[in-house]
Amino acid sequence: MVSMKEARDRLIEKASSDDAFRTLLINDPRKAVEEEFGVTLPDSFSVTVHEQSPTEAHLVLPPAVKLEERDLKLVSGGLPWCSSGGCW
């Protein structure tokens, strides 16, 4: 399983060296993630990409609600993705 940090780093690295992938990631992030990792994301899982600029910064906050133990494991362990081999 790929952790959230590993997935983010891999996507950023590829988008930095592959203009076509960067365009796809910005325009259709769900499709870009699914193609890059060979998975199908659950319908309930969304992906949003923000392109930073010299005059704008993005801050991602954790959920405001208290997470259950199962949810904490998902967040700390990686993205809950599904493929032909099942979900994890």
Written as one string, the DSSP assignment of 19-79 is: HHHHHHHHH-HHHHHHHHHT-B--TT--------BTTB----PPPSSPPPHHHHHHHHH--
pLDDT at site 88: 46
Which residue's entry shows tokens 């949810």? 71
Number of domains forming the structure of the chain? 1
What pLDDT shows up at residue 78? 56
Q: What is the pLDDT of residues 50-65, one digit of tens each?
A: 998 999 988 888 777 7
Residue bearing tokens 């940090």: 5
Digit-coded pLDDT (tens) for 7-39: 999 999 999 999 999 999 999 999 999 999 999
CA 29 to chain CA centroid, Å, is 8
Give me the domain span that covers residue 69: 4-87
Task: Give me the pLDDT at residue 34, please.
Answer: 95
Judged on CB neighbours under 10 Å (0-12, 13-18, 19+), 28 is middle
